[in-house]
Amino acid sequence: MSTPLPSVHEPAASAAPMRLAGPGAGAPRPPLDVLGVVALAATVCLWSAFALSERALASSTLKPADAALIRFGLPVVLLAPALWKRRRQYGGMRPGPAIKIAVGGGVPFYLAVTYGGSWTSAAFVGALVPGLVPLFATLLAARGRRAPKGVQGIGLGLIGLGAVSLVAPEVADVNGRTLTGVGLLLLASGLWALYTVGLRETNLDAVSSTGLLCVPTFAGVAVLVLTGVLPSTVTHAAPHDVLLFLLLQGLGTGVCSGLFYTVAVQRLGSPRCTTVGSLSPVLTAAAAVPLLGEALTPPVMTGTVLIAAGVILANRTAASKGVRRRPVQRAASP
**CA neighbor of 110 nearest in space, from 52, 185, 212, 34:** 185
DSSP string, 82-134: HHHHTGGGGTT--HHHHHHHHHHSSHHHHHHHHHHHHTS-HHHHHHHHHHTHH
pLDDT in tens, 99-140: 988 888 888 998 899 888 888 888 888 888 877 877 787 777
pLDDT-based confidence at residue 238 (cuts at 50, 70, 90): very high
Task: Supply the pLDDT for residue 88.
Answer: 86
Q: Is the sign of the CA dihedral 196, 201, 206, 208 positive or negative?
A: negative
97 in Cβ contact with 201 (< 8 Å) = yes
Q: Residue 25 pLDDT more than 80?
A: no
pLDDT-based confidence at residue 247 (cuts at 50, 70, 90): very high
230 in Cβ contact with 63 (< 8 Å) = yes
Q: Which residues contact 149 (CB under 8 A, 6 or more apart)?
A: none
Q: Which 8-state DSSP code applies to residue 14?
A: G
25 compared with 104, residue with greater pLDDT: 104
pLDDT in tens, 33-68: 788 889 888 888 888 888 888 888 888 899 999 999
Q: Which 8-state DSSP code applies to residue 5?
A: E
- How far apart (Å, rounded) are the C-alpha atoms in residues 2 and 332? 5
Give the SS3 label for residue 331: strand
pLDDT in tens, 129-162: 877 877 787 777 665 565 666 777 788 788 888 8
Element spanning 329, H or E: strand 328-331
Task: Supply the pLDDT for residue 201.
Answer: 83
pLDDT-based confidence at residue 253 (cuts at 50, 70, 90): confident
Task: Supply the pLDDT for residue 175.
Answer: 65
pLDDT in tens, 190-222: 998 888 888 878 888 878 888 888 999 999 999
Q: Residue 19 pLDDT more than 60?
A: no
Q: Which residues contact 202 (CB under 8 A, 6 or more apart)?
A: 4, 93, 97, 98, 101, 209, 212, 329
Give the SS3 label for residue 296: coil
Question: pTM value?
Answer: 0.73
What value does the mean pLDDT take over residues 20-42?
Answer: 65
141 in Cβ contact with 203 (< 8 Å) = no
Instruction: Determine the residue type at 248.
Output: L
Q: Residue 262 pLDDT more than 80?
A: no
- How far apart (Å, rounded) are the C-alpha atoms in residues 162 and 310? 8
CA distances from 173 to 7, 176, 287 (A): 42, 9, 25
pLDDT-based confidence at residue 179 (cuts at 50, 70, 90): confident
267 in Cβ contact with 245 (< 8 Å) = no
192 compared with 73, residue with greater pLDDT: 73
Task: Supply the pLDDT for residue 10.
Answer: 35
Alpha-carbon radius of gyration of the chain: 20
